A = this chain, B = another copy of it.
Amino acid sequence: MAIKEGIRTGGRSARVQESVHAAVRALLQEQERDSLTVPLIASRAGVTPSTIYRRWGELAALLADVSLARLRPDSAPADTGTLRNDLLAWAEQYLDEMNSEPGRNMMRDFIASGCSSQCATVLRGQLQTILARAVKRGEPAPDADHLLNLIVAPVVYRILFAESAPSLEHMHELVNLSLRR
């Protein structure tokens, strides 16, 4: 059920992907997520349903793929001059995004589609960018997985399992704790 890999980018394949993604984004603005179907998306995107099934396998994987594209930021995380402040800024933005209706839906799509590890891969990449800058500045830096455990995991856990996200104050505590050695 994983999002299929290895599809060449560029050309017809890229155009199909862009128009299907755009159709999903537009439909999500107009109607309830639960009412989305593959034929509906195909019709809006001007492709056949079998094009979507062939490429994404099923609706949950397509929704997760659209979410993943949204999660990949256009730019690198902000450079504030210190690791601590870079992490605070990143953590606040992450909390903000996940603690929203689209954020909660994204997590559920990832779990339902069985391709949730791609989500951790994107986040790990962003954290590695921040950590590489810290190392360049000569700051001591933990590894990205430690930050996933201490900053990302509590946000995801509390939203999925405890129905309330950590407070901003609590995010600051977690960032501080992640930097203690």
Interface residues of A, Cβ cutoff 8 Å to B: 108, 110-112, 116-117, 119-120, 148-150, 152-154, 156-158, 160-163, 166, 170, 174, 177, 180
Contacts and interface: CB of A to CB of B under 8 A. Distances in A.
Contacts of A152: 157
How many copies of this protein are present in the complex?
2
Nearest to A119: B161
A161 B116 contact: yes
A111 B160 CA distance: 7
Contact of A153 (B108, B111, B154): B154
Nearest to A112: B112
Contact of A110 (B116, B150, B161): B161
**Closest CB pairs A-B (n = 7):** A153-B157, A149-B154, A153-B153, A120-B162, A153-B154, A120-B161, A116-B161
Contacts of A154: 148-150, 153
Contacts of A108: 111
A150 B174 CA distance: 9
A124 to B, nearest CB: 8
